[in-house]
């Protein structure tokens, strides 16, 4: 693939861990543990393919409704991953950034998150992990920030535009996702990066996340490379730009 056909930013909804475990008559946490292994593999494959930013949907704001035992297991798994991976990510030149609300996490987990981000802060590539994240929450929080600026006299209402709103949202430090991949067969974005994915290309695969490999990612990237992103323009206009 040429450089122009490689997405700078790939977002992934990692769906299917529980179904993977159930099919093998294992507890659900086993699927999530296997899913962590795929995170390592897919990150390496993404970097090797030229992707600069990878954003993974690990735990949505709605996931708190899952059984308490599963939530507890997921929090422990997240903490172990961060404690184990931070220095390895730094060695791979990867900056880790956690997006979402941290209010419901324990003090210990918050401290581990802060340390993982600190250790990796100088990375060239970026791995974003969305935890306790929801697209609607993101938009509401951005609106609150701008409203506070207006109330404080730092901003006029007429000055608010799409660019300013984007800056108030999560992931304002990286390009918007070029490609969103969802594993597990469902064809919806489940309240994920609603604002940021206005012009994102979607790729849905029936593969469950623990079965999704570097080769699977390559198939998604090849599919993406065959698409024409028009951003409201005609094919002729796009062709003229490239000539």
Q: Is 66 marked as binding a ligand? A: yes
189 is in an annotated binding site: yes
Residue 15 assigned to a binding site? yes
Active site residue 63: yes
Taking phi first (over 0 means left), then psi (-120 to 50 degrees means alpha), and beta for anything else, what does residue 70 get? alpha
What are the backbone dihedrals phi and psi of residue 198, each rounded to the nearest 5 degrees, phi first? -55, -35
Query: Do residues 82 and 112 touch, judged by C-beta distance below 8 A?
Result: yes
Name the 3-class secondary structure at 93: coil
Indicate which residue of 15, 132, 138, 178 is catalytic: 15
**61 among the known binding-site residues?**
yes
Q: Catalytic one among 63, 191, 211, 223?
A: 63
Residue 201 assigned to a binding site: yes
Residue 121 CA to residue 97 CA, distance in Å, equals 8
216 is in an annotated binding site: no
- Tell me if residue 15 is catalytic: yes
DSSP assignment of 99-133 equals ES--TTS-HHHHHHHHHHHHHTTT-SEEEEEEEEE
Q: Is 97 annotated as a binding residue?
A: no
CA distance 93 to 114: 18
Q: Is 62 annotated as a binding residue?
A: yes
190 appears as a binding residue in the annotation: yes
Parallel, antiparallel or unpaired: strands 179-182 and 53-60: unpaired
d(CA 238, CA 148): 40
Binding residues: 15-20, 32, 60-62, 64, 66, 182, 188-190, 201
Annotated binding site for Mg(2+): 15, 201
Mind telling me the catalytic residues? 15, 63
Question: Where is the binding site for substrate, in residues?
Answer: 16-20, 32, 60-62, 64, 66, 182, 188-190
């Amino acid at each position: 693939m040429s450089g122009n056909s490689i997405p700078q930013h790939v977002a992934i909804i990692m769906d299917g861990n529980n179904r993977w475990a159930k099919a093998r008559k294992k507890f659900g946490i086993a699927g999530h543990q296997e899913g962590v292994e795929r995170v390592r593999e897919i990150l390496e494959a993404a970097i090797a393919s030229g992707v600069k930013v990878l954003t993974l949907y690990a735990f949505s704001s709605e996931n708190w409704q899952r059984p308490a035992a599963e939530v507890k297991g997921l929090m422990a798994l997240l903490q172990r991953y961060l404690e184990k991976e931070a220095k390895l990510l730094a060695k791979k030149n990867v900056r880790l950034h956690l997006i979402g609300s941290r209010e419901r996490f324990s003090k210990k987990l918050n401290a581990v998150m802060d340390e993982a981000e600190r250790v990796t802060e100088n990375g060239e590539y970026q791995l974003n992990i969305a935890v306790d994240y929801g697209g609607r929450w993101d938009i509401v929080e951005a609106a609150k920030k701008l409203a506070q600026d207006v109330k404080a006299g730092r901003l006029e209402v007429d000055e608010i535009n799409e660019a300013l709103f984007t800056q108030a949202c999560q992931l304002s430090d990286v390009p918007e996702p070029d490609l969103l991949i969802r594993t597990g067969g469902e064809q919806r974005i489940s309240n994920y990066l609603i604002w940021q994915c206005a012009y994102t290309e979607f790729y849905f695969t029936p593969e469950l996340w623990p079965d999704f490999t570097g080769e699977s990612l390559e198939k998604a990237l090849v599919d993406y490379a065959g698409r024409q992103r028009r951003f409201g323009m005609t094919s002729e206009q796009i062709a003229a730009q490239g000539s």
